[in-house]
Amino acid sequence: MTDWRGLRLLVLVLAALVLTVAAFGAWCLVQVVDTRAQERLVAQQNTEADLWARMLTARMEAQQRLLVSIAQGMHTSLLDKPAVLDALMQQEGSMLRLFDSLHVALPSGSITHHGLGGAVVEIDTNGVEALRRTIAEGKPNVVQIQTPEDASHLRVLLTVPMRRADGAVAGALAAVSKLPLATLIPEPLGAVPGLQYVLLDPDGVVLAHSDVTQRWKNARELWEAHWAEWQSLSKPSAASAQTVAWGARLVTRVGLPLPQWQAVILRDMSADMLGNQGLPVQTWLMLGLGLAILTALAVWALWGWLAPWPRHAGAAVAPGTAEGLTAHRHGEPGGAVAEADTPPVAGTLAMLDNVPVAMLLEQNGRVQVATPQVGVILGYFPSEGAVLALDHLFENPQALAAVRHALVDLGGFEGLVQLRKKDGDWVWVEVLAWTPDRAPDSTVWRLRLPWRQGRSVPSWPVEAHAWRDGLTGLPNREAFMWSLQSWVTDSLQPPKALVDSAVARVPTQGCLLFVDVDHLGMMNEVTSRDMGNKMLRHIGRLLHSHVQPLGDVARLGGDEFAVLLPGLSLAHAQGVAQALCDAVWRWQPSWGGERHWISVSVGVVAVDALRHAPQEVVRGADMACYEAKRRGRCQVAVGQVSTLQAVSRPAA
């Protein structure tokens, strides 16, 4: 007995595994998207920090060059004449007025101060130390002057050496420049939440900040939680941007070479990262509900596919129903109910697909597989038969119930039933149905046409071998024309009995297929003529196998074949022709280790035995096949037949 509980547990485990893999895949996708977003933000912020640092450096260098120009134009004799410098500071148009104050230091240690309007502006100890370093080292310096009382400006002291004609340092000239904070902090493009600009001096003191309340604080006060990371980031380096991530914050630092300041940009990445974005509760509920519904549907489908619910012994089963077929084993006394021990049907499906007989396999009222010959009789080809309900084929529900009663009571059924074709017409079919012992929920149906079984073989006027094609073994052109004429004659014969008139009468209408192999001459040149002959033999067997339930196949000569399909409508015959094209295309013969694709073009014409002459029928189908080749080959084209005067049916 099959362990259904184990199968269902396996389905649940697979569903849980699918959900886990889906969740992990979603997490990986979020990580990849966030990584790409962070890389984009890092590149953008590095570029922004570099531009900001270059702007500040260029501004300080411009101030420094101006002071150097003033120092070069000033004679060293003016260093000990402070009155002259005061006068120059008051003179309109003087370049000295571009600064707030000037300061002159001599090697002796004396320092004079000169301000605008005669005001005396002192400098702090940092400024005095910068002047002394300039005299001692002969190099310019830049230091900031802390003025907490001025919340809108940053004062910077610039120093340059003054030299005599022999190059010796005669003193140092310093100037105080007042820089507006609004020009030091960039203006962000648009509203960017969590974006901050910070300008630090070499000691980590905040010189400028997007938040003015943070000015003159120490960097450690601002970033106490990330102080160790900041120390590794703020080590002296080249003036290139360095970026690290502090959780959801992106920190970029770049150094300014001349003032030795540090420009820092901090950005909150939460708004740009999927992993940090919070979706509304309603959205999460809708996603969870949708995932639960999809999972339930998948589990239900797999559950029913892997293991149909078994019936317990003693359960009541209505005879003649599909459920009865599932529960009963034929041959058990008293119709005892047993659990279905159904083996996998994959092997059965593969076997039926290659049987040259019109057969179909039905399971629980649905057609699981049908041979190509079923498509020739009913018009439902294998790809369509897999989703076909059996009750759709029966005109009378009582007829299907009678078949099921016979299957339950006798283990099989044999008789005539009327089935619905795909084009809406009805056809009488001789049915042989049985239920395999090891598959009680399945039924095998074999279909045959009664008029086809009762039709006599045409009596050829000469030896049989003269009417056969020597290569394929199929009837040749002469035999086919004789069969076509015999069909016309048989269709004109009156039925022997009234009961047989609707069942065994040969149909007077049908279709003719003209099949031509595409590019056979080229294939003979690429491979060999022997290979071409093998292809013709295989295609002949393929055509005969597909249409043998009701059709006659012949090789007309060369690469041309003809198929007569009595009783088929034009739409039905087009489906048969397309199925033949697909079957030939799927066959890929091998030659010299390479695969070759073979195709056929098919012309289809509708035939009326009372109105059309055999020669005109073949000619019309040939012209339709020519049209299919003209359109590009490997397809089906429909043609017409010239109409003759109507033929009267003999009296009964």
286, pLDDT greater than 80 = no
pLDDT value of position 602: 95
Using pLDDT thresholds of 50, 70 and 90, give the confidence band for residue 387.
Answer: low
Using pLDDT thresholds of 50, 70 and 90, give the confidence band for residue 637.
Answer: very high
pLDDT value of position 218: 84
Count the neighbouring beta carbons within 10 Å of the beta carbon of residue 203: 8
Helix (H) / strand (E) containing 429: strand 426-434
- Mean pLDDT is lowest, of 332-341, 364-373, 394-403, 530-539, for 332-341
Q: How many residues does the chain have?
A: 652
Amino acid at 380: Y
Nearest to 569, CA basis, from 373, 359, 379: 379
457, pLDDT greater than 60 = no
> Do 643 and 554 meet the contact criterion of CB atoms below 8 Å apart?
no
pLDDT value of position 13: 74
pLDDT value of position 394: 82
Amino acid at 271: A
Token output for 243: 């970026």
170, pLDDT greater than 50 = yes
Q: What average pLDDT does this structure show over 89-110?
A: 80
565, pLDDT greater than 50 = yes
Report the distance separating Cα 301 and Cα 124, nearest Å: 84
pLDDT value of position 482: 85
344, pLDDT greater than 60 = no
CA distances from residue 379 to 385, 425, 556 in whole angstroms, order as listed: 9, 10, 26
Using pLDDT thresholds of 50, 70 and 90, give the confidence band for residue 497.
Answer: very low
pLDDT value of position 339: 39
pLDDT value of position 461: 55
> Do 275 and 34 meet the contact criterion of CB atoms below 8 Å apart?
yes
Out of 93-97, 447-451, 609-613, the most confident range is 609-613
Report the distance separating Cα 598 and Cα 581, nearest Å: 10
* Residue % of the chain over a pLDDT of 90: 6
CB burial readout 568-586, b (16+ within 10 A) else e:
bbebbbbbbbbbbbebbee
pLDDT value of position 340: 38
Amino acid at 511: C
Q: Name the DSSP letter for residue 145.
A: E
pLDDT value of position 315: 35
Kindly report the backbone phi and psi dihedral angles of residue 507, in degrees, each rounded to the nearest multiple of 5, phi listed first: -65, 145
3-state secondary structure of 216: coil
Report the distance separating Cα 417 and Cα 396, nearest Å: 9
Q: Name the DSSP letter for residue 189.
A: S
Q: Name the DSSP letter for residue 167.
A: S
* Upper half-sphere CA count for residue 97 (Cβ side, 13 Å): 11
Using pLDDT thresholds of 50, 70 and 90, give the confidence band for residue 451.
Answer: low
DSSP per residue, 296-362: HHHHHHHHHHH-PPPPPTT----TTSHHHHHHBPTTSGGG-B----PPPSHHHHHHHTT-SS-EEEE
Nearest to 174, CA basis, from 85, 237, 94, 261: 85
pLDDT value of position 6: 59
3-state secondary structure of 527: coil
pLDDT value of position 516: 94
Using pLDDT thresholds of 50, 70 and 90, give the confidence band for residue 316.
Answer: very low
- Where are the domains positioned within the chain? 322-448, 464-638
Q: What average pLDDT does this structure show over 327-355?
A: 43
Report the distance separating Cα 576 and Cα 565, nearest Å: 9
Q: What average pLDDT does this structure show over 602-622?
A: 89
DSSP per residue, 100-131: SEEEEE-TTS-EEEEEGGG------HHHHHHH
pLDDT value of position 323: 33
pLDDT tens, 212-264?
788 888 888 888 888 777 777 766 555 578 888 887 788 888 887 767 788 88
Pairing status of strand 636-638 against strand 600-608: parallel
Mean pLDDT of the chain: 75
Out of 114-128, 302-316, 506-520, the most confident range is 506-520
Residue/partner pairs of 75-82 with CB below 8 Å, 24 or more apart: 76/162, 76/163, 76/164, 76/170, 76/171, 79/104, 79/106, 79/162, 79/170, 79/171, 80/106, 82/112, 82/114
Tokens 């420049």 — which residue? 177
Q: Give this prediction's pTM.
A: 0.43
pLDDT tens, 470-483?
888 888 888 888 88
- Mean pLDDT is lowest, of 428-437, 444-453, 522-531, for 444-453
> Do 433 and 412 meet the contact criterion of CB atoms below 8 Å apart?
yes
Report the distance separating Cα 624 and Cα 632, nearest Å: 13
Q: What average pLDDT does this structure show over 603-620?
A: 88
Q: What average pLDDT does this structure show over 153-162?
A: 87
Using pLDDT thresholds of 50, 70 and 90, give the confidence band for residue 308.
Answer: very low
Helix (H) / strand (E) containing 382: helix 382-385
Scanning 431-504, the segments in alpha helix (DSSP H) are: 450-454, 477-492
pLDDT tens, 501-514?
445 567 778 899 99
DSSP per residue, 441-460: TEEEEEEE-HHHHHSPPP--
| Fold exhibited by the domain 464-638 | Alpha-Beta Plaits (3.30.70)
**Within its chain, how far is the Cα of 32 from the centroid?**
18
3-state secondary structure of 398: helix
* Residue % of the chain over a pLDDT of 70: 77
* CATH 3.40.50.720, applies to 322-448: no
pLDDT value of position 322: 31
pLDDT value of position 512: 93
